[in-house]
């Protein structure tokens, strides 16, 4: 059962979004590491070609180890469908720590702490601060500082030999100059990619913040609507019950000998008051998770009754209202709720055709005729703009003029249809019309289970 309007959604969506964000960080880190590995191998190859490096093969070994580890992480990320946010953050921290160890090894084999690429320690700190919680990022920072300090001290103390960055100065030949230009180009492209990634994450974070604010505002408005609905419903029902009792008492006093016109009038009054009572009950249903009461219902008959209910709105309108009922038979429906959902869509279609047009209510077997049915409301009215089509189910969204619509009709309709186990789709072309389609199961899950067990 879906939560009522105004209720807070289950936390699963937020947890899934957090997990997806962590997985995206891991994918980004894997891509960035491939760029770094490519840069190390390119620089090592260039140094070896021009005989500027004293020991290229140890550098190649470190880069190869990084590549093997990165490939393993990429495969693991692609295969693991389920994980936790905490596990993902631990994996990110472990990968950054591995990168710091590899960086220390590369520096130790090419100039030690005097290698200008030692600045990449700060680069890794920035990555950790961007991808990890503050406490974990701080631990990564201390780990990086420890590695760099240890590298400098052990080399200065003579515990490890200091391998120079270059064996001899490179001659200013055309090839050497071209190699430096290519190396700097790759480095600058890496910086651009890194900064763009940060900027993109900031944009996503801002969009997410705005979306959360919009959802929070929508929930607050729904909660207010729920409070108002409950208050109005209770305020109406008290005098309403008094009126019903008075009409029934008056009918009893008149007895069987009452004038037929008077009796008909009292019956009409009773019917109208009962309808008002039903409406107030629907208002109360907006404020709580009222269960559906699904019973076998003739869908065509219910559709015809709903059509008759909304037909008075045609008066004063140039719209034409027709039915194309396909004899689909019985379905397990809550007649009151389904009638409300269908009436919402029909009223929207009639409003769209107020200046002229045709509204057709159609029922037919569904994609699987034995288990599904289709209900469609087609109109040839004003249609919906492409930019608005994605928002038609959003609460309080309406394309009608101020005072002519609440923006709740389709939101309530989708909730009702989804509670029935169905789905709603909307197709529309501006200036040509709209088609709203319900696909519903013929039987509820409860009745299906009973049938299977019989």
Decide if pLDDT at 449 tops 60: no
The Cα 261–Cα 274 span in angstroms is: 20
The Cα 150–Cα 138 span in angstroms is: 18
**Do residues 406 and 396 lie in contact, with contact meaning Cβ atoms separated by under 8 Å?**
yes
**C-alpha distances out from residue 220 to 179, 286, 287, 392, 395, Å:** 61, 14, 13, 20, 12
Are 302 and 154 members of one domain? no
Task: Say which range, 137-146, 166-175, 216-225, 253-262, has the weakest mean pLDDT.
Answer: 166-175
Calculated CA dihedral for residues 108, 113, 115, 117, nearest 10 degrees: 90
Q: Is residue 209 part of a domain?
A: no
State residue 142's pLDDT score: 92
Question: What CATH number does residue 388 fall under?
Answer: 3.30.565.10
- pLDDT 10s digits, 264-286: 888 888 877 877 777 776 666 65
Decide if pLDDT at 1 tops 60: no
Of 119, 135, 170, which residue sits at a domain end?
A: 170
Q: Is residue 433 part of a domain?
A: yes
Q: Is residue 374 part of a domain?
A: yes
State residue 329's pLDDT score: 86
Q: Is residue 375 part of a domain?
A: yes
- pLDDT band at residue 5 under the 50/70/90 scheme: very low
Domain with 435, as residue range(s), is 295-453
User: What are 441's strand-pairing partners?
Assistant: 372
Domain count, the chain: 2
Most confident of the ranges 112-121, 173-182, 328-337: 328-337
**pLDDT > 90 fraction of the chain, expressed in percent and rounded:** 12
Q: Is residue 246 part of a domain?
A: no
Of 126, 153, 170, which residue sits at a domain end?
A: 170
**C-alpha distances out from residue 183 to 118, 121, 135, 178, 454, Å:** 16, 19, 35, 9, 75
Angle in degrees, CA 180, 102, 59, rounded to 5: 50
State residue 425's pLDDT score: 92
For residue 120, give the 3-state DSSP assignment: helix
Q: Is residue 257 part of a domain?
A: no
Q: Is residue 274 part of a domain?
A: no
Of 150, 170, 190, which residue sits at a domain end?
A: 170
The Cα 390–Cα 412 span in angstroms is: 16
Q: Is residue 176 part of a domain?
A: no
The half-sphere exposure of 20 on its side-chain side, counting CA atoms within 13 A, is 6
The Cα 330–Cα 129 span in angstroms is: 60
Mean pLDDT computed over 96-105: 90
The Cα 57–Cα 437 span in angstroms is: 66
Length in residues, the chain: 454
Q: Among candidates 122, 106, 100, 98, which has minimal Cα distance to 57? A: 106
Q: Tokens 């029902």 sit at which residue? A: 237
* Neighbour count for residue 125 (Cβ, 10 Å): 19
**pLDDT > 70 fraction of the chain, expressed in percent and rounded:** 78
């Amino acid at each position: 059962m879906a939560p009522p309007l105004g209720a807070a959604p289950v936390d699963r969506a937020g947890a899934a979004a957090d997990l997806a964000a962590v997985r995206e960080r891991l994918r980004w880190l894997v891509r960035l590491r491939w760029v770094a590995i490519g840069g190390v191998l390119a620089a090592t190859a260039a140094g070896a070609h021009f005989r500027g490096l004293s020991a290229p093969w140890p550098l190649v070994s470190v880069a190869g180890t990084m590549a093997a580890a990165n490939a393993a992480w990429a495969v693991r990320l692609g295969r693991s469908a389920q994980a936790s946010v905490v596990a993902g953050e631990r994996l990110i921290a472990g990968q950054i720590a591995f990168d710091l160890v590899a960086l220390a090894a590369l520096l130790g084999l090419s100039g030690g702490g005097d290698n200008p690429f030692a600045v990449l320690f700060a680069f890794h700190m920035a990555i950790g601060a961007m991808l990890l919680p503050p406490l974990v990022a701080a631990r990564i920072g201390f780990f990086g500082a420890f590695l760099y300090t240890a590298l400098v001290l052990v080399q200065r103390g003579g515990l490890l030999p200091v391998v120079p960055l270059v064996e001899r100065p490179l001659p200013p030949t055309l090839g050497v100059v071209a190699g430096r230009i290519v190396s700097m180009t790759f480095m600058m492209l890496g910086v651009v990619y890194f900064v763009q990634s940060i900027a993109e994450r900031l944009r996503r974070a801002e969009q997410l913040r705005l979306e959360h604010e919009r959802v929070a505002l929508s929930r607050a408005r729904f909660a207010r609507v729920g409070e108002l609905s409950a208050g109005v419903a209770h305020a109406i029902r008290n005098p309403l019950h008094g009126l019903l009792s008075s009409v029934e008492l008056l009918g009893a006093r008149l007895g069987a000998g009452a004038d037929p016109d008077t009796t008909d009038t009292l019956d009409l009054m009773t019917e109208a008051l009962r309808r008002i009572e039903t409406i107030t009950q629907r208002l109360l249903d907006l404020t709580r998770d009222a269960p559906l009461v699904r019973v076998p219902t003739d869908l065509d008959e219910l559709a015809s009754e709903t059509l008759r209910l909304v037909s008075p709105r045609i008066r004063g309108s140039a719209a034409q209202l027709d039915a194309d009922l396909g004899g689909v038979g019985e379905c397990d429906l809550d007649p009151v709720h389904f009638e409300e959902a269908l009436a919402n869509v029909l009223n929207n279609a009639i409003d769209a055709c107020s200046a002229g047009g045709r509204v057709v209510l159609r029922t037919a077997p569904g994609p699987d005729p034995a288990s599904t049915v289709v209900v469609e409301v087609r109109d040839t009215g004003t249609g919906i703009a492409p930019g608005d089509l994605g928002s038609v189910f959003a609460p309080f969204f309406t394309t009608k003029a101020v005072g002519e619509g609440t923006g709740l009709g389709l939101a309530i309709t989708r909730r009702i249809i989804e509670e029935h186990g169905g789905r709603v789709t909307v197709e529309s072309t501006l200036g040509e019309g709209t088609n709203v389609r319900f696909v519903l199961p013929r039987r509820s899950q409860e009745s299906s289970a009973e049938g299977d067990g019989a």
